[in-house]
Amino acid sequence: MRNLDESRAKWIRLRMGILSGIMALGLGAFVSSAYRVQVEDATSWREAAENQRQRRLHVEPKRGTVYDRNGTSLAVSVEVPSVSADVVEMLRGNDPKDREATLRDAAARIGKILAIDANDIYDKLAQKKRFVWLKRRISSEEAVAIREISDPKKTPHSLKGLTIDGEGHRYYPGRELGGPVLGFVAPDGFGKDGLELAFDEELRGHVEEVKGVRDRTGRLIFSEGTTDESALAGHDVTLTLDEGIQHVAERELDAALHTYETKGASLVVLEPNTGEILAVATSPGYNPNDYGASEVDSRRDRAITDRFEPGSVMKVFTVSAALAAGSLHPNDTIFCEHGTYKLGNVTIHDTHQNDWLTPTQILAKSSNIGSLKIALNLGENGLYSSFRRFGFGEPTGLPLPGEAAGVLRPKGRPWFEVETANASFGQGISVTTVQLAVAMGAIANGGRLMEPLLVRKVTDARGNLIRENTPHVRREVIPASVAHMVAEMLTAVAEDGGTGVEAAVDGYRVAGKTATAQKVDPETGKYSEDKYTASFVGFLPADHPRLVIAVVLDEPMIGRYGGDLAGPVFRRVAEASLRALGVMPEGGGKLAKVSRADDPADITLAVMKPKPEAVAAPQPPPIGPPLPSNVKVPDITGMAARDAVRTVTAAGLVPEIEGSGKLTRQEPPPGTQVPKGTSVHLVFEIGS
């Protein structure tokens, strides 16, 4: 620059200075940006890098198991395979022009294996996601075929990016057993009904997110922060249900539903001294393994959700309340108006024409007039408060969704005189089956209303006790002396002359009450002439009760009376349950004869006290449970099956059907005098 002109040299130096300054500024900006990226924003960029390099794995815990009281599995979780795809990996190395053809080919091959339309598979692959479910819960054959088409050693043109993962699937070994009680689990892993919903959080466990690295084929090659699987698994729930008793209850209830063509039915078996529920049966039921194939109405647990007017079974609690209050004594006699009584502008009838009856006879013969007179003498407040003490009008507290409280009376006003009278024999109020069982349990165990138990304990996956439920007395309803007195009165119901002789169990004293309640017609608002609820609620052995059984049949088409329809169901469930519990038959005492539907000959049943002296023989009314006696076999030749069954049942006989079509032969022949409950063999033939 020495040879240059001074002015030119100065200009060159100026330009070099400016250029150096610009470069210095650029370098400063670069350093500043690098500092901001590497120091100030290091955390966010590090997370972005980790997100690209790592996968977040959601570890789904194994859902807890539901057991019965003896350790039998009622609901378990099993692992089933599901297939997913990484579309980015599937297309890796392909020419962009060939990618659609590759996806079409993959969709066709996968769809053929999984029995899914290829277009549906293509729509999922076309999203080009790193993860997409192709089909969840596939069969073992489908899993083998998917592995073959993704294995380059077995298939020349293998598909990349296909992964088979195990998913938890809820399985119910007993199929329909306890379906409405257990509920079901949806594909998303959440319980949707019954105990599965009520204990969903405990059964499901908690999901943990684990960061890991997968190789280019999607296999996990490194993970950190993993937790012991048992720490994530859901808790196990042990119920008070007995699988054997539950099975018998459902079997007998289903048989009653089909035999009597009922709209629905429910049954509860309760241990009265602890409040433990041994069975909760509902018919119709459903299979939670295939809940999608069932009607929504079949999933309802009728024993806790359905309210109904209980009818004459409420006479038990009316008499108990009056005895406890001292307004009634066991030796009192009450005039029952020869079967007809007018209260205000309402006329109340008995199904039998009775005059003077003791409290025991009022229960045995199910006198409405006797019951209402006891209630009116007790008073509206006394009757209402007693019903509330027995647990009516409030939920029992079972851990099941949708439990109904029932209805005792309209809010804000007391019962009128007619309403008090109706409530005394179970009209104008509503209850549930489980409420009846719990209330009858208070009579059986000496006057204590127990908290009903359905869940015995909850344990974690390692077997550690999380929570245990023990028997709890909610309150004392009536004195023990009154409870024992009423229990003794109720034994007359299942003895000769009572309305519940069909519920008598050979070798055991049965205490119980029948009920045949008219249903209200929603269209007219009046009681229907042909829709009834038939029920029987009782316990046995009467002296040392081990079981309370409540049977409710809704709208039977063949027959109507609780003693005739619900009584045999009670008997068969009681016989099987007592055998399962190892309760030996009673012995000694005076023998009373009873008639049984499945045994036309009279049998004997041990009782400790003589039955109450019978009143004058009543005239047979047009309706009401018929008393045990000889009946004439009706002539039903030529009738269709339904008409024939109705006619035979109405005569107090038990039909046995063979074939279909028109009736051609019956045994015993028409006109034969046979004991009530005798089986009549009916032979039907098509085209006759």
| Span 655-681, average pLDDT | 77
**H or E element, residue 5:** none
C-alpha span between 600 and 104 (Å, rounded): 74
pLDDT of 594: 36
Over the chain, what is the mean pLDDT? 83
Stronger pLDDT, 432 or 126, i.e. the higher one: 432
The pLDDT, as a whole number, for residue 2 is 64
pLDDT class of 625 with cuts at 50, 70, 90? very low
pLDDT the model gives residue 587? 57
99, containing H or E segment: helix 99-114
Summarize the confidence of residues 379-399 as an average pLDDT.
94
Q: Can you count the helices (H) and strands (E) in the chain?
A: 21, 28
Rounded distance, CA 375 to CA 16, Å? Answer: 117
The confidence band for 377, taking pLDDT boundaries of 50, 70 and 90, is very high
> Buried b / exposed e across 133-155, counting CB within 10 Å, b at 16+?
ebbeebeeebbebbeebbeeeee
pLDDT value of residue 665: 82
Average pLDDT over residues 162-181: 87
Let me know if domain 243-628 sits in CATH 3.40.710.10: yes
- Whole-angstrom Cα distance, residue 439 to residue 546? 15
pLDDT of 323 higher than 90: yes
Q: What is the dihedral of CA 86, 87, 91, 93, to 10 degrees?
A: -40
Of the candidate ranges 148-157, 559-568, 583-592, the one whose mean pLDDT is the lowest: 583-592
Which amino acid is residue 518, in one-letter code?
Answer: Q
d(CA 282, CA 251): 10
Taking residues 58-67, report their average pLDDT: 80
* pLDDT tens readout for residues 492-543: 999 988 889 999 999 999 999 999 999 988 888 888 888 999 999 999 999 9
Q: Residue 258: pLDDT above 50?
A: yes
Sheet holding 264-270, edge to edge: 277-283, 264-270, 547-554, 527-540, 511-520
CA 266, CA 535: separation in Å to the nearest integer?
10
Q: Kindly tell me if the per-residue pLDDT of 569 is higher than 80.
A: yes
Confidence of residue 305 (pLDDT cuts 50, 70, 90): very high
pLDDT exceeds 90 at position 39 = no
pLDDT at 624: 34
* Beta-bridge partner residues of 590: 607
- Measured at the CA of 409, the angle between CA 406 and CA 413, to 5 degrees, comes to 150
- Between strands 340-343 and 334-335, the pairing is unpaired
Q: How far apart are CA 422 and CA 427, in angstroms?
A: 5
Residue 53, pLDDT above cutoff 60: no
On the question of pLDDT at 328 being above 90, the answer is: yes
pLDDT tens string 345-373:
889 988 888 889 999 999 998 899 999 99
Tell me how far CA of residue 481 lies from CA of 103, 322, 484, 537, 589, in angstroms: 82, 13, 5, 21, 21
For residue 208, the model assigns a pLDDT of: 57
Between 232 and 628, the more confident residue is 232
Distance, in Å, from the CA atom of 491 to the CA atom of 360, rounded to the nearest integer, reads: 9
pLDDT digits (tens, 9 = 90+) for 130-168: 888 888 878 888 888 888 888 888 887 888 888 887 777
Q: pLDDT at position 669, please? A: 87
Token digits of residue 18: 């400016």
Q: What is the pLDDT of residue 591?
A: 32
How far apart, in Å, are the Cα atoms of 487 and each of 42, 313, 324, 542, 544?
A: 81, 13, 14, 7, 10
Q: Is the predicted pLDDT of residue 93 greater than 80, yes or no?
A: no
Q: Which residues contact 83 (CB under 8 A, 6 or more apart)?
A: 110, 114, 133, 134, 135, 138, 142, 143, 146, 162, 163, 164
Per-residue pLDDT tens for 430-478? 999 999 999 999 999 999 999 999 999 999 888 899 999 999 999 999 9
DSSP code per residue over 477-490 = -S-HHHHHHHHHHH
Q: pLDDT of 195-230, one tens digit each?
A: 999 999 999 876 655 555 655 554 555 555 545 555
Are residues 368 and 375 in contact, defined by beta-carbon separation less than 8 angstroms? no
Catalytic residue numbers, as ranges: 312
- Per-residue model confidence (pLDDT) at position 597: 36
Residue-wise pLDDT for 339-352, tens only, equals 899 988 889 988 88
In this prediction, residue 50 carries a pLDDT of 63
State residue 556's pLDDT score.
Answer: 93
Q: Bigger pLDDT: 251 or 526? A: 251
Q: What is the mean pLDDT of residues 287-305?
A: 90
User: How would residue 29 be classed by pLDDT, with cut points 50, 70 and 90?
Assistant: confident
At 215 the pLDDT is 56
Domain locations along the chain: 6-53, 56-65+74-175+211-234, 243-628, 641-685
- 680 or 622, which is more confident? 680
Q: Characterize 464-476 residue by residue with b for buried, 16 or more Cβ atoms within 10 angstroms of its Cβ, and e for exposed.
A: eeeeebeeeebee
Residue 632 and residue 86: Cα distance in Å, rounded?
78
Tell me how crowded residue 73 is: count the other CB atoms within 10 A of its CB.
Answer: 15
8 Å CB contact between 194 and 104: no
pLDDT over threshold 90, residue 312 = yes
